[in-house]
Every structure is written in C-alpha cells, then in structure tokens.
Structure 1
C-alpha cells in the first residue's frame, strides 16, 4: 500500500464537497510530478485530504477507488485523474504549523515542495499525521 496527500482549496472543493459527492475525480492536475504521483496511485491506497490556502490543514482520509485514467476535462493524453472516496473526517484537523514543528515530518513534500498538489508520503509520515489528529 502507498500513502499520499492531495491538496484542494476549500472555497473551490472542500472536504464537505468531496463527502457530498461520494466519489471525487481528482482532475485538473497540470504538473508533471503531481501527474506522475497520480499515475502511481493504486486501488485502496490511502490519501490525506489537505485544505490549502484557507485553513492549511489535513482534514480527512480518503482512498483510491479507481486508478489513473485520461483526464476527461481536457483532450490531452498526457494528463490523468484518479477517483477517490472519503474514508473518515479527522476528529481534529492537523495544521501545517503542527506538521512543520514535528521533527519526524521535516522531509514531507508539504514542507519541501509546498506547491505540489499530489504528494507521496512514507507510511511513518502518514501515521504521524494521523496520530496528531487524535491527540488531546
């Protein structure tokens, strides 16, 4: 299993929008590294849903329900999408400030490549972020 983080601006597509949709198609990616990450996603991989710009926090867990296929929003075969579904809303959002302050998370792309919209995580990084959502 692989672990990922996807970013969305909540005023465009929030966690609640995603949950209400049921299955969300992760489209509109026009960065080659992010596209390569979408292509690498496999069925049932777990994905952290991050609100960017507003909030700047991980708010939920999703999973891949359909692997990469051509992006239906554009007639260019270089770009792909994946379908995700919500698994759970985190009991407490994990802020970017909290992630930046944790020594165990200093190598995550969220810090090192802050503009990348689809990022791979190590299992340990994923677990640390999830554990922060359950801290008192």
Structure 2
C-alpha cells in the first residue's frame, strides 16, 4: 500500500462484516507500536521492535458507501469469485482488480 492509493474501508468487527466506504492511504506502512505494549489490546509478545511482525498504515476517509457491502454478499457474487479476498480469505490486505473495484463500488452505491 502506497501513499495516495485508495482502499476499501472494511468493518471486520461488525455483524455482518463488510465494506462501508473508500479511504486513501496517507502514510505508508510502519511498525505497529501497540504490539509491544503489554497493556494494549493488540499486544503480541512474539513481536520484536527490531523485527516487527505487525505494520499499520494511516488512512483518511474519502467516500462512504450508501449501502454496506457485506462479506456474505461478496462471497455470493459470481462477479467476485476470483477476487483474492474470496480465494485467499485473508481479510487484512488483498489486491483488488479494477473490475472488482468498480463492481464493489456499484454495489455500495457510489459507482
């Protein structure tokens, strides 16, 4: 993810999970310092500041979707059957092809 790239804003801790909008990367990946804080919810005892396991990016909101595009909806859509999110199942960071991007934006009501 590079500065200026657009990304989907995905609510993973929602029921159902889904894409709720578009955001822009405003700071490229850097080590996630919360992984080293034992008091933090995201503490990871295996993560080392010299060789970080976890990275984060800073984003800014660009445009909300009119309608959430849910994970079940994404999985059931034949137009997205080859999408990395569906095939690989890794929800954090996956590439999105231009046609997939356009289709998801249309589903979210921002085409």
TM-score higher than 0.5 here?
yes
Deviation at 1:42, TM superposition (A): 0.8
* Greater displacement, 58-67 / 110-119: 110-119
Deviation at 1:69, TM superposition (A): 2.0
Normalising by structure 2, we get a TM-score of 0.72
1:108 equivalent in structure 2: 83
Aligned length: 95
Please say which structure displays the higher CA radius of gyration: 2
Find the partner of 2:9 among 49, 52, 55: 49
Deviation at 1:126, TM superposition (A): 1.1
Where does the alignment leave 5 or more consecutive residues of structure 2 unmatched? 37-48
Find the partner of 1:130 among 86, 89, 105: 105
Is 1:121 matched up with 2:96? yes
> Following superposition, which runs of at least 4 residues in structure 1 exceed 6 angstroms of deviation?
none
More strand, by proportion: 1
Deviation at 1:61, TM superposition (A): 0.8
RCO greater where, 1 or 2, for CA within 8 Å and sep 6 or more? 1
Where does the alignment leave 5 or more consecutive residues of structure 1 unmatched? 1-40
